[in-house]
């Protein structure tokens, strides 16, 4: 499937699912960036930050000098465009920090590498790429835009491969971050119900947990949900 075709599929899919932004749960970011992700990024005093796939542009006004783009028009984007189109707006080696917080998650390897190459090209030498991706522990592959069999799976080997390929170093090491469903607060559980797609495996897991609590049934196991890898690269 061509890169343009995949971009169109992703745009159409997320136009239908305009997620509300969940709380900034600790599991969504590197442990060293908690409890305040914006403050952590701002501590580097960046003169230009790009947020790739910014959604509702939540970090605008919180992280200094930030421009966010997304292929779906959420109303608050600075730019409505995909990675290829964004390359017309951003000069090579112009950004101090590029945020890739789940926006290069799911596709085939060609599309992943195309977008990743662009994101890295916008970063100055010595600058940072802040990464969050789905992990190989994730069981949602059947839900992804291009169909499960063609989806790239992020794992430790892939991260190492791209670290070497793009001449990067780890500024903050890779962490596996996740939630345990049975330990979520009631409000967190409700928020997850709102943002998850009906029919997805995660939605079913959350629904079962809601029913378990409603019927006061003792949990017989712990269930991991939304596992992801978080790390920072630095460009040589």
Q: What is the pLDDT of residues 221-233, one digit of tens each?
A: 999 888 899 999 9
Class for domain 3-178+227-235, per CATH?
Answer: alpha beta
d(CA 161, CA 30): 21
Scan for tokens 């345990």, then name that residue: 180
Q: What is the pLDDT of residues 36-55, one digit of tens each?
A: 999 999 999 999 999 999 99
Contacts of 126 (CB under 8 A, 6+ apart): 234, 235, 236
Mean pLDDT of 82-109: 94
Predicted pLDDT at 18:
47
Contacts of 73 (CB under 8 A, 6+ apart): 15, 80
Mean pLDDT of 53-81: 95
Predicted pLDDT at 187:
86
3-state secondary structure of 27: helix
Predicted pLDDT at 140:
46
To the nearest whole number, what is the mean pLDDT of the chain?
Answer: 86
Q: Is the pLDDT of residue 22 over 50?
A: no
pTM of the prediction?
Answer: 0.84
Higher-pLDDT residue of 136, 61: 61
Q: Is the pLDDT of residue 90 over 70?
A: yes
Residue 200 C-beta-side C-alpha neighbours within 13 Å: 20
Q: Is the pLDDT of residue 20 over 50?
A: no
Mean pLDDT of 171-197: 88
Predicted pLDDT at 50:
98
In the DSSP assignment, the letter for residue 58 is: T
The structural domains of the chain, with segments of one domain joined by +, span 3-178+227-235
Q: Is the pLDDT of residue 146 over 50?
A: no
Complete edge-to-edge strand list for the sheet that includes strand 66-70: 79-80, 66-70, 49-52, 95-101, 123-134, 224-235, 168-180
Q: How many residues does the chain have?
A: 236
Q: How confident is the model at residue 24 (pLDDT cuts 50, 70, 90)?
A: very low
Mean pLDDT of 191-203: 80
Q: What is the pLDDT of residues 96-143, one digit of tens each?
A: 999 999 999 878 889 999 999 999 999 999 999 999 998 877 644 444
Q: Is the pLDDT of residue 21 over 50?
A: no
């Amino acid at each position: 499937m061509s890169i343009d075709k995949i971009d169109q599929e992703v745009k159409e899919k997320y136009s239908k699912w305009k997620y509300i932004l969940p709380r900034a749960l600790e599991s969504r970011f590197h442990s060293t960036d908690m409890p305040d992700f914006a403050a952590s990024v701002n501590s580097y005093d960046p003169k230009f930050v790009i947020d790739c796939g910014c959604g509702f542009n939540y970090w605008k006004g919180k992280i200094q000098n930030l421009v966010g783009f997304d292929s779906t028009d959420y109303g608050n984007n600075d730019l409505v465009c995909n990675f290829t189109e964004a390359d017309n707006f951003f000069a090579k080696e112009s950004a101090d920090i590029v945020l890739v917080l789940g926006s290069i998650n799911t596709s085939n390897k060609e599309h992943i590498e195309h977008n990743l190459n662009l994101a890295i090209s916008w970063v100055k030498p010595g600058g940072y790429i802040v990464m969050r991706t789905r992990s190989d522990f994730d069981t949602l592959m059947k839900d992804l835009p291009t169909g499960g069999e063609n989806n790239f799976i992020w794992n430790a080997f892939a991260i190492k491969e791209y670290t070497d390929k793009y001449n990067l170093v780890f500024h903050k090491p890779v962490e596996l971050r996740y939630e345990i469903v049975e330990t979520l607060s009631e409000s967190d559980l409700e928020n997850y119900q709102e943002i998850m797609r009906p029919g997805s495996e995660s939605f079913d897991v959350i629904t079962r947990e809601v029913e378990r609590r409603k019927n006061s049934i003792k949990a017989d196991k712990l269930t991991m949900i939304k596992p992801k890898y978080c790390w920072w690269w630095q460009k040589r």
